[in-house]
Chain A
C-alpha cells in the first residue's frame, strides 16, 4: 500500500491526443480515482476518466424555476395582496404585465446558479491543491497535458502504478506530494 505522504502519481503527455488515449487506458485498467489536466477543454477527456455525473444543468434548472416562481409570486403579492393599486382600472392580478419581470428573474437566478453552481461543484475557490507542488504542473495552463492517479485509488501501488504509467509512454512521471 502507499504511504500517506503521497497524493498520487503524475504523468505528463505530449499532446491532447495522447492524454485522451492514456486516460482511456488508465481508466480501463481499473484505476478510477484519476484526473486529467489540460490548458483548454478537450472533448472526450471527461468521458475518458470516467466522469459522467455532471449536475450543472440540474442546478441551473432548479435556479431558473426558483427565480421564475419568486419573480411571479413577488409581483402577485405586491400587486394583488399587500399593495393593490388601481392602474387604469386593470385587474390587480394583471398577469401579462408580470411577464417581463418573471422572465428576467428566471434568467438572473438560472445564470447565477450556473456560475456559482459550477464553482461549488468544482470546489473552487481552492487556493491550495497538491498537484501544484509538482514544478512541471505550471505548464497545465500553457501546453502541458497531465494525468494523475490518486493514491486513494484502491488499486494504487507506488511501484506497480508507476510501471503501468511508464507503459503509456509519458514525457515524465513524478510523485505528487500531499
Chain B
C-alpha cells in the first residue's frame, strides 16, 4: 500500500478518483453494492446462464472421467490439444491481477488501488480454471496426487528434473500466494463491512472474516510490512510462473518450442491477455455498479497502454521466431515458419497476427484508448488472439515434426469445446458471486488516496 505517495494536484490527466469523496462516502459507495443494493433481474439471469455453463463443464468432465481422454480430439502426434491451450491461456489471464496488485504496488502506482481487488479475484478464478486442465489431461485425475512428493507405500517419488513437476510447484505456489495476498488485502475491508452491516448474520460473517481487526497503529504497521513483502515476493513469483509454463515447451526439442525467447515472450503475452480480461470485466462492471468515480478513464487508458506495450513485446517475439527460422538455417525451424504461413492452419496464424498485432495498434490513438466501447472490443479481440497464439504454438508445432510419417491434424470435438466454454462459465460464475459478496474495490486503499489521509511533515515535527 503506497501510503506516502502524494496525488499530484495539478495534474492535467483524468484523476485516479473523482473529486468530492470523503472517507465515509468511499466506504458507503463500495459496501452498499454488497450490503444494500437489491439483487436485480439482470444479475439473476446472468448468473443462471453462467451457472448452466459451469454445469456443462461438470457434465463434460463427468463423461471424461467415465470414458477417458479419447473423447477429446487429441491423439498422437497432437497429444496436448485444448487442455494445454486452455491451461496456458487461463493462467496467462491470471497474471495481470498479480501485476496490478504486486508490481504496480512496488512501483507506487496509486491508480492500481481501485482495480487491484477485482483484478486479484480475476487471478484466483482464472488460476482455478487453469488448474482444471492439466489435472483432467492426465487421464487418470484421481491419481494426480502422485505428483506431490510424500513418503508413500508405493515407494515412489516424483522426478524433479521434469518441467511438468516444476509446473505443479509453480502453479500451486502461485494460487496459494495469490489467495493469501487477496485475503490480507481484504481484512481491513472486512472490518468496514462488519461495522456497516445491519443484519445480524452478515455482521457475524464479516466479523469472523475480519478476525477482530481494529485498525490499531501497531497492526497497521505490521500489516503494511507484510503486504509490501508479499508484493515483493509475488513479483518474482508471477514472472516465474509463466516462465515455468514456457519451460514445458522450451525444454523439449520440438521445432517451434525449443527456443530461448519463450520465457519473456510468454510472460509478456500473459500480461497482455490479462489486461485484456481486466478491461473486459472492468468496463461493464464500472458502469453497472456506478463505479466510474473510482475506476476512471485514467485506469482504462493506462490498461490500454500496458496492453499496447506488452502487445509490442509479443509482436517482437513473433518477429524473432520468424527471423530465427531463417537465420538458424535449420530446415525444421524454417519449415515451421513456412508451415505456419502456408500450412493447413495458416488461416488461424493470420488471424492471430491480425488480432494480436494489427488491431491493437489502434491503441496508439488516444480516441480509441479513451472510448470504452473500442477498448472493450479490442480487449475481446486480444483475448481471442492470445488463445489462438497458444493454439498455433501447440497444434502447429506438433502437427508437423521431423518425419512426414508422424504428421497429423488436430480437430477438437464437442467435448473439447464444452470443457473450454464450461470453464468460462465457471470463471464468470465466480465473478458474478464475487461482486455481490465482497467489496470489489479496496476501501482502505482508496481512502489512502484522499489528501486528508496524509500527515504533513511540517506539523508532525512539532511535538
A residues contacting B by CB (< 8 A) are 15-17, 20-21, 23-25, 28, 35-46, 48-49, 51, 54, 56-57, 60, 74-75, 78-79, 82-83, 85, 87, 90, 94, 97-98, 100-101, 103-105, 107-108, 110-112, 114-115, 117-119, 121-122, 124-129, 131-132, 137-143
Contact = CB atoms under 8 A, between A and B. Distances in A.
A36 B214 CA distance: 10
7 contacts: A21-B460, A40-B23, A75-B160, A79-B161, A111-B233, A115-B183, A115-B226
B211 A119 contact: yes
A39 B169 contact: no
A36 B160 contact: no
A75 B447 CA distance: 46
A173 to B, nearest CB: 18
B230 A115 contact: yes
Contacts of B159: 79, 85, 87
A144 B124 CA distance: 33
A142 B23 contact: yes
B180 A112 contact: yes
Contacts of B156: 83
Nearest to A37: B215
Contacts of B65: none
Contacts of B22: 143
Contact of B233 (A40, A100, A107, A142): A107
B462 interface: yes
Contacts of B456: 17
A116 B239 CA distance: 24
A130 B3 CA distance: 29
Contacts of B213: 124, 141
B368 to A, nearest CB: 36
A56 to B, nearest CB: 4
B236 interface: yes
A168 to B, nearest CB: 12
Interface residues of B, number: 72
A111 B180 contact: yes
B11 interface: no
B33 interface: no
Given A60-B229, A101-B160, A108-B173, A78 B149 contact: yes
B24 to A, nearest CB: 5
A51 B217 contact: yes
B192 A56 contact: no
Looking at chain A's contact residues, the main secondary structure is: helix
Shortest beta-carbon contacts, A-B, top 4: A125-B211, A118-B226, A143-B23, A46-B221
A123 B26 CA distance: 28
Contacts of B214: 37, 129, 131-132, 137, 140
B165 interface: yes
B229 A57 contact: yes
B184 interface: yes
B226 A112 contact: no
A112 B176 contact: yes
A111 B177 contact: yes
B234 A111 contact: yes
B237 interface: yes
Contacts of A56: 222, 225-226, 229
A114 B157 contact: no
Contacts of B453: 16, 40, 42
Contact of A118 (B1, B223, B234, B463): B223
B289 interface: no
B170 interface: yes
A35 B220 CA distance: 11
A83 B211 CA distance: 44
Contacts of B24: 142-143
B244 interface: yes
Contacts of A124: 211-213, 219
Given A60-B229, A100-B166, A104-B237, 5 more contacts: A35-B218, A42-B455, A74-B149, A111-B233, A129-B214
